[in-house]
Amino acid sequence: MRHKVLLPTDFSKNSIRAINYARELYKNDHCDFYLLNVFSATGNILESLLNMEPGSELYENAKLHSENGLATVFDMITMSDSYNPKHHFEIISEFNNVIDAVIQIVDKKDIEMIVMGTKGETHSRKTAFGSTAIYIMEKVRNCPVLVVPENAKIELPKEIVFPSSYRNHFKRRELIHLYDIAKKSNANIAVLHIKEEDKLDEEQEENIKLLKEILTGVSYTFHTLPHYSIQTAVNIFVESRSSDMVAFINKKHTFFGSILSSPMVKEISFHLNVPILAMHDLRN
């Protein structure tokens, strides 16, 4: 089976690093990669959509810049010594806002994973994530998103940290991408629980049992930390163990959203050097 992976790019160094991370992650797999650039004429996408018409000078110049940029990235990949014959690349230039373009292509191409950088060419050093990465992680609910920081190592993960409260029933289809990445990388999944009470209740114990069943076939370990904030606990754990990736189930408007929302996002640093896999709770 061929994998289908969407690679949004604005041609920034961070987005190119994310592309190279995806190539490494899927190096042993037959894979169709879709290089996507979404263009507009001005920084104000609403203004662009209202005022730009196909054939106008503004539109054609923006389109040409997008197509030339994609061609440069395509040539850089396919003509390099590291080109993988198992990989096929297709370029897509779209005039739209980024979220709508990504949602449409995920649906049209049956995309199974989005891999992108955390920041774009206009990123601020004061924020950990760019707004585009945050919006895609929060709004694209039918496809997992792997965001890759600008300083991430281009290598397969050896340990993936998976924080959990054990409060929700795990579903195999929600965790399939975490499982697959661990399997292909021969990585350990470190399940991290931030302790709220001295003892787990019956429901939590049942959920742990279910999680063990789902993770059968890959390496996994269970860990508990005292009652820090989620951000602090994950940060401490990742830094102390030099973990390589963090995976979350993104529950709409709750757990993951609270981490990404400003100014909370400025208080955590673990994501500066390790990729984050945002999976989705399929019940909302």
Q: Kindly report, residue by residue over 100-121, the tens digit of the pLDDT.
A: 999 999 999 999 999 999 875 5
* Mean pLDDT over each residue of the chain, to the nearest integer: 86
Per CATH, 3-148 and 159-280 having the same topology is answered yes
- CATH number belonging to domain 3-148: 3.40.50.620
Given a cut of 80, whether residue 47 has pLDDT beyond it is no
Of residues 122 and 222, the one with the higher pLDDT is 222
Asked if 239 and 270 touch (Cβ cutoff 8 Å), the reply is yes
Residues 192-202 have a mean pLDDT of: 89
pLDDT of residue 31: 98
CA dist 95 and 61 (Å) reads 12
Q: Of 127, 128, 121, 175, which is closest to residue 8 (Cα–Cα)?
A: 121
Lowest mean pLDDT among 47-51, 69-73, 85-89, 224-228: 47-51
Contact 236, 96 (CB under 8 A): no
CATH number of 159-280, picked from 3.90.76.10, 3.40.50.620, 3.90.228.20, 2.120.10.30? 3.40.50.620
- Domain residue spans of the chain: 3-148, 159-280
Q: What percent of the chain has pLDDT over 70?
A: 83
Whether 55 shows a pLDDT value over 90: the answer reads: no
So what's the pLDDT on residue 264?
38
